[in-house]
Each structure stands twice: as structure tokens, then as C-alpha cells.
Amino acid sequence: MANPWLSIIGIHPSGLDALSAAARRDLDDASVVFGSPRHLELAQVGARGQLWPVPFSVAPVLRLRAQTRVAVLVSGDPFHFGAGASLARHLQVGEWRNHPQPSTFSWIAGELGWSQEQIHCLGLHARSFEHLTPLLAEGERFICLLRDGAAAQAIAAWLQQHGWGASRMWLVSQAGSEAQRIRAGTAGELALGLVETPVAAPVAAAFEAGGGNGFVQVPGRSIDAFLHDGQITKSPVRALTLALLAPRTGELLWDLGAGSGSVSVEWCLAGGKALCVEQHAERAARIAQNAARYAVDLQVLQGDSLALLDTLGPAPQAVFVGGGFDRALFDALRARLSAPWRLVVNAVALETQALLMDLHRVHGGQLLQLQWSEAQPLGRMQSWNAARPVVQWAWNP
């Protein structure tokens, strides 16, 4: 489109003076200008200004599509944690003109002398701090956009609570403007209020992780990493299970009879998405808690796997059954799924193990018996305590 109807303009705390000539021209030509109160004031648009709705929505902009010239004001780079992508997914390429400014990430990285490509840049305005968990490791650097000064102190307290109180931390307000202020200290000091918390928005927190234990990056994590009532796939079996499920980025797992959801959580930490079905209400709630602990893309449904099978939505690339497997469920899965998929079933009960041996005889696949023992105290000495054997069947239809 030779003459786009929409201009997406990154604006800086310095206001109009920091806009390019092209951005200033598009702003002046717009009949309607959308933005936050702060951005509209910086741009001095007067009666042309329209506030974003709360909760945020791009619908008011889309209603003016191709009817008049519209400008949208966002912070810094519109397509880096900005509203640009939210708008663009509803439009055709060529309908908008983009006028980026240096992002808050760029300003802060430059102030601290950090190489931006080696920093974790996160928008945590409306996301939990648990999104940090899989990324934390000694020496890793982060810049996090936050809602306000209270959130800045809250993230410091969260780091302190999770063992990262020694992390060097900088709280930055009004990044890149003449009013910019940086407060520095450790996360522990900031959490205790020993360093002044910024009041003026926008606020960001930068920190270099230190003092804690880095996140384990391979499956088979300790059962202590999950909330459970004993119904959990033990660490050695879970590691083998994930290896056979073979998660790939963006793939969907159905976890039927999910128990604690530990297999699904580790699948998601490997880059996938998961849907858990668990018939017990308390366990379903516990799965949701485990998902929140690691901020993973996991949905939980309470109910019987067979009864819910036809309602589970898009077909998965993999299915794991850790409990409640029988021939009826196997037949239903085969009828429900046609695209390539892979199945892994773990069984402890003899009846289910016998079924897996029969299915392996008829359909092939890989059948394993997993046995291991753990050393445990026996009086003043130690002895091997054998776990129940697990039969594991992996099959690619």
C-alpha cells in the first residue's frame, strides 16, 4: 500500500524532540492518535488523542481501518514488547508505517555497558516472575520491564526468596530521558528497602544473577521440584519417558492420567505445550500449581481421559499415559488421531503390564522393563531398596 493509513510511532520520554522528521510528519497528519495518558501528553496531540481501553485492546484502532489517518503511540520500539505486533496480526503488510525509537532495553544496556544480544529481555508488566525461573544461572543478565516501583521491589524480594539475593541489581526509571534515575544495590538490599524504590514510571529492573543455584536444564529433575502426593513419575523413569516422547519446540503433548503433571512440565520446559487430564480434583489443582511454579504453557482438565478424549481440541504430536491406561483408551486414541503421533505408556500394575506386552506383540514399538534400587538406611548400615518395576511401551503409529 503506497499510502498506509496507520502509523505506529515509538515515542521517547524526551517527547517530540526525539521523533524523526518522518514520524513527526505522520503524527501531524493523523486525524486520531491512540496512546496512554503519558504518551499523549508527550506528543501534545490535544483533542485528537484517544486513550487505550482498559483492559488493553486494539479494537478501537481496527474500527478505523482505512477510513482515516491514524497514529498509535507506544514506548520505544513498537515491535519489541510493544503494541506493534498486536496490531500487525490483524492487518496486511503495507497497511502501516513503523517509526521505532531505541527501546528501554537499548537505553539500559548502553548505560550499564552490557551487550544486548547476551541479555534476557523480558516484559513482566502482567506476567509472573516465575518466567525467570528456567533462565536463572550464575552471571546471566536480565532487563525486565515492570509495571511500577512496587513491582521493582517485588522482583527484588522474589529473587531474594529464591536464593538470588546476592544478585547485583539496578532499578531504572524514565530510561533515556533527562529525568532518568538509576538506583543500585543487591536484590537483597532492594528487597529490604535499603535502596530507594523509584516512583515515576516507566520502571525497569536490570540484574546480574548471583548467589543462587542455576536451573537444571535436563529432564529427570528431582521429585522435590514438584508438588505431589506420591503420584509422580520418579526421576529416572521421567528422564527415559521424556527421551522417548522426544519433545520439539512448539509441539503439543496430551498427558492422560497426569498425576502431578511432572512429565508435562518437563515437556514444556523443553519448548512444548501440554494438556493434562486428571480425574482427581486435588491432583488437578496441584498440576496447575506446578505449571505456575515454572510459568509453562500447560492446560489442565479434570475428568476421565476416555470420556474427555473427543473434547481435547487440536491433535497432539505425542501422548503420554501414566495412569488409567486400558485397551478402550488405546482404541479410542487410534480412532481419534490420524496425523503422525507417538505414544508412551508407563505401567506398574501387572494387568496393565500384560496389556502392554500384548500390544507390543501385535503392534511392535519398543518395550522396556525399568528396574532400579536406592540405597536406604538399614539399622546402622545401608541396604538396597528396590522400587516397583515399570514397564514402558513406546509406539509410533
Look at residues 135, 23, 30, 125 and name the one whose alpha carbon lies nearest to residue 83.
125
- Can you tell me the distance from the alpha carbon of 351 to that of 330, in angstroms, rounded to the nearest whole number? 15
Which stretches of the chain are assigned E, i.e. beta strand? 6-11, 32-35, 49-51, 70-75, 96-99, 119-123, 141-146, 168-173, 181-186, 203-208, 252-256, 273-278, 298-302, 318-321, 342-347, 366-370, 373-378, 381-386, 390-395
> Cβ distance 261 to 231 under 8 Å?
no
Name the pTM for this structure: 0.88
Relative orientation angle of helices 262-269 and 281-294, to the nearest 10 degrees: 20
> Cβ distance 245 to 320 under 8 Å?
yes
- Can you tell me the distance from the alpha carbon of 97 to that of 301, in angstroms, rounded to the nearest whole number? 43
- Can you tell me the distance from the alpha carbon of 253 to that of 311, in angstroms, rounded to the nearest whole number? 15
CA dihedral 129, 72, 57, 149 (to 10 degrees): 30
Q: What is the CA radius of gyration of the chain?
A: 26
> Cβ distance 346 to 239 under 8 Å?
no
The separation between CA 231 and the C-alpha centre of its own chain, rounded to angstroms, equals: 25
Q: What is the pLDDT of residue 1?
A: 43
User: Residues of the chain whose pLDDT is less than 70?
Assistant: 1-2, 198-201
> Cβ distance 187 to 167 under 8 Å?
yes
